[in-house]
Amino acid sequence: AQRVTQPEKLLSVFKGAPVELKCNYSYSGSPELFWYVQYSRQRLQLLLRHISRESIKGFTADLNKGETSFHLKKPFAQEEDSAMYYCALIKSYQLIWGAGTKLIIKP
């Protein structure tokens, strides 16, 4: 069965420190993966998708098919990065979501 796992419910790091939000998936076939973000009092929004291979707000994510992972990374955390982050994969028309990781950036 297709599944997305985010092992950390909460991640707290200091401003300026590197950040890595973990995401593992199970999927038979070639997955298409996404990271969504929800800032406080805002709605869910797309942060990045693996096929575009972009860096958004300093975040990058590389699809590792061998480890079935799609970890989100940023070399230097900023306070405005504090938010809820969700990893998701697409199966046909539907998104399958992880449970999310709350990222707190300490000043």
Partner 1 sequence: ETGVTQSPTHLIKTRGQQVTLRCSSQSGHNTVSWYQQALGQGPQFIFQYYREEENGRGNFPPRFSGLQFPNYSSELNVNALELDDSALYLCASSLSGGSSYNEQFFGPGTRLTVL
Q: How many residues bind partner 1 (CB under 8 A)?
A: 20
Query: What length does the chain have?
Result: 107
Q: Which is nearer to partner 1, 13 or 96 (CB)?
A: 96
Bridge partners of 69, per DSSP, are: 24, 64
Q: Which is nearer to partner 1, 74 or 101 (CB)?
A: 101
Least spacing, CB of residue 13 vs partner 1, in Å: 21
Site membership for partner 1, residue 43 (CB under 8 A): yes
Helix (H, G, I), strand (E, B) or coil at 50: helix
Residue carrying the six token digits 């940023």: 74
CA atoms of 47 and 59, how far apart (whole Å): 8
Site membership for partner 1, residue 31 (CB under 8 A): no
**What residue spans of the chain are helical by DSSP H?**
none
Judged by the rule CB under 8 A, the positions of this chain that interact with partner 1 are 4, 6, 9, 32, 43-46, 86, 88, 90, 92-100
